[in-house]
Amino acid sequence: MFHWLEKNPFFFAVAVFLTIAFAGLVEILPNFAQQSQPTVGTKPYSTLELAGRHVYIKNSCNACHSQLVRPFKAETDRYGHYSMSGEYAYDRPFLWGSKRTGPDLMRVGNYRTTDWHENHMKDPAGVVPGSIMPAYRWMFTNLADIDTAYAEQITVKNVFAVPYNKPLPMKDGSKEVVKLADSLSGAHASALAEAKLVVADMNDKNVKEMVNNGQIPEIVAIIAYMNSLK
Amino acid sequence: MEDRPLEYDYTIAKLFMYSTIVLGIVGMLVGVILAWEMAFPAVNTMLGEGLAEYTNFSRLRPLHTDAVIFGFTLSGIWATWYYVGQRVLKVSMAESPFLMFLGKLHFTLYMVGVVLIVGSLLMGITTSKEYAEFEWPIDIAIVIIWVIWGMGLFGLIGIRREKSLYISIWYYIATFLGIAMLYIFNNLAIPTYFASDGIGAWYHSVSMYSGTNDAIVQWWYGHNAVAFGFTVPIVAMIYYFLPKESGQAVYSYKLSILSFWGLMFVYIWAGGHHLLFSTVPDWMQTMGSVFSIVLILPSWGSAINMLLTMKGEWQQVAESPLIKFMILASTFYLFSTLEGPIQAIKSVNALAHFTDWIVGHVHDGVLGWVAFMIMAALFHMAPRVFKRKIYSKSLMNTQFWIQTLGVILYFTSMWIAGITQGMMWRAHDEFGNLAYSFIDTVTVLHPYYTIRAVGGTLYLVGMFIFAYNMFKTMTSSERVDESELQNATPMGA
């Protein structure tokens, strides 16, 4: 039987492909039938947060930091409630990471503040003695890409029906709406308004001045993103 | 037809041999820089603050993994394909101008792809998915390169004289099909520029899958990119080169069938072991764990088949550095295909996941198995491709021992580092509070990170010795004709 197969490359290749594809069909398809259902309290990202998420990805923060709290006492003690599937409903791509050279960041917004991040990104070992994290000083001068963040928001709203501009249930029973501007200039205006709230808690004079002039440096965006991780 | 041996055409094989050596050095050099950055963070700004964005750990890390996977390993796979394919199918590339054209196109586009990848990763253009960091324009280029290789592969099979496909060909076919399926589905994404009527960066895209589903698809890909990039084609190599070099027939045909089809069926299921204790469904995690254990069978089937091929001829291991490379490679294959399943057991994974033990596992597999086998293949091919003896046997021996020492330092230090960190993360004091803050679990690793960096540096030194030995072999070693060769590779002093 196998000798026959080994003389017929076409059927051989078909047999190999079916054998390889089998596991994927069984494992992946069923889960795709069920869309990810967001948990109560999970919101889509605002324009500035999403731009910050892009800064996080651009610098491969996920190479050293996970965003996945496993259901063990040691992890819930350290990082907070264990992760639930629905909390990731708006994460494209997922950023669970595979290595914890630094701590998990799934709920970093609960216990770190804007000025902590600011000092830490400038000089990690100055804030956490012994830290081996490199400094990210270029984030204080590079500008965040608001355009691309806005383009991604439009894309996920249109293609994946991400609920922007719709009331979403929060944990305290209230409703919240994440607004999506209807023009690029509107998106810039709302990102800038959000950036001003972040910058109010920062010390760097350059960054403050840039935001006053209508520019948003990467550091402001990534802090807005990390503050949103709860 | 006159009765003389076929003249094979190694034009394309040569090109990929060069790129294997160059990209191997690049990928491993970047890896060594990363290792020193973890031991001594000041290395992050080695070229000054102005260039820190391009020399710090986070930008270089994807460059390291991708240079080793898509640079060094893929080049090695293709260098051996353009050599082994002709020989076991008993047909020369020169017989088909079309296949020669495809081969040259394959190499040229591949080089273009390499440049695009290096540039975009340094600029921080990435999707963040491990080993699938490239944005959609590069993904399309990679698919085209892959299809061109596939046309060459099946084209050569189509005009073959030897009707039965040798074992190595099975594995090359599986590599082609497996990677094609995995790569395409994992990288499905929507370009935001086109979906938003022209706003933002033109190359940016957003994943088709979200959250948990995205993670499932990514690790279905990520784990099996290892399967069909680091295992399947490397097994293809050893099934050809070990019997050729040692003059021994493959120990068991039945065992090779069992392990081939076993590997094909089992490997894909095991991807779930990257997601244990995550938010993917429990049954999928359990399947990942169970099939990882089952995977020992087909993996060990191939490895044992190779070791038993040397039955009665073990003195060759002492005499020939080339056989040494291959025997050590199969031994590391045995070892890392046992280590992986152990790490996939749920209770072990609870400790090992997210730690350096995983990094250690990857590297004993890649440095000990993949890279050793690829270098052995190039050593075997060189005298037949360039018609010159291997320049220096003693350099080969030196390289072997330096690199073996490097691998051992690498994985032992990472075992200790990983298990130490995993134990410290979970330690509680007598009142039930966490015993260590996170930074305690980082500073404790400094000695192990230093040892690892030394081990990696030794391996890189071995790579330079390899490159020098190959360069001398290609350019100035004593001439030899294939008809003078017995099985074993001719060696210089």
Q: What is the pLDDT of residues A156-169, one digit of tens each?
A: 999 999 999 999 99
pLDDT, one tens digit per residue, over A195-221 is 999 999 999 999 999 999 999 999 999
Q: Domain A47-228 sits in which CATH superfamily? A: Cytochrome c-like domain (1.10.760.10)
pTM equals 0.95
Which two three-digit tokens encode residue B203? 């190359």
Q: Which of residues 93-132 of A touch B (CB under 8 A)?
A: 93-103, 125, 128-132
| Residue B366: HSE in the Cβ half-sphere, 13 Å Cα cutoff | 28
What pLDDT is stored for residue A15 in this prediction?
A: 93
Closest Cβ–Cβ partner in B164, B185, B196 for A151: B196
Distance from CA of A92 to the nearest CA of B (A): 5
Which two three-digit tokens encode residue B152? 């060459």
What pLDDT is stored for residue B49 in this prediction?
A: 87
Number of structural domains, chain B?
A: 2
The residue among B164, B182, B198 that closes a domain is B164
Closest Cβ–Cβ partner in B158, B216, B359 for A28: B216
B297 DSSP β-pair partners: none
Which helix (H) or strand (E) segment is A125 a member of? helix A124-127
> Residue B107 domain-assigned?
yes
Q: Tell me the pLDDT of chain B averaged across its residues.
A: 94
Closest Cβ–Cβ partner in B178, B200, B207 for A92: B207
Q: Pick out chain B residues at pLDDT < 50.
A: 1
The residue among B113, B133, B164 that closes a domain is B164
* Residues B169, B123: Cα–Cα separation, whole Å: 38
- Which chain B residue is nearest to residue A64, measuring alpha carbons? B58
pLDDT, one tens digit per residue, over A120-166 is 999 999 999 999 999 999 999 999 999 999 999 999 999 999 999 99
Mean pLDDT (whole number) for A37-45 = 93
Which two three-digit tokens encode residue A13? 């290749």
Distance from CA of A67 to the nearest CA of B (A): 10
Three-state SS for chain A is CHHHHCCCHHHHHHHHHHHHHHHHHHHHHHHHHCCCCCCCCCCCCCHHHHHHHHHHHHCCHHHCCCCCCCCCHHHHHHHCCCCCHHHHCCCCCCCCCCECCCCCCCCHHHCCCHHHHHHHHHCHHHHCCCCCCCCCHHHHCCECCHHHHHHHHHHHHHHHCCCCCCEEECCCCCEEECCCCCCHHHHHHHHHHHHHHHHCCCCCHHHHHHHHCCCCEHHHHHHHHHHHCC
Burial letters for A119-135: b for 16+ Cβ neighbours within 10 Å, e otherwise?
Answer: bbbbebbeebeebbbbb
pLDDT, one tens digit per residue, over A97-121 is 999 999 999 999 999 999 999 999 9
What pLDDT is stored for residue B1 in this prediction?
A: 46
Closest Cβ–Cβ partner in B128, B195, B354 for A66: B354
What pLDDT is stored for residue B7 in this prediction?
A: 86
Supply the range of the domain harboring residue B10: 1-164
Question: Which residues from chain A sit within 8 angstroms of residue B124, using beta carbons?
Answer: 58-60
What pLDDT is stored for residue B207 in this prediction?
A: 95
Question: Which residues from chain B sit within 8 angstroms of residue A95, using beta carbons?
Answer: 128
> Residue B282 domain-assigned?
no
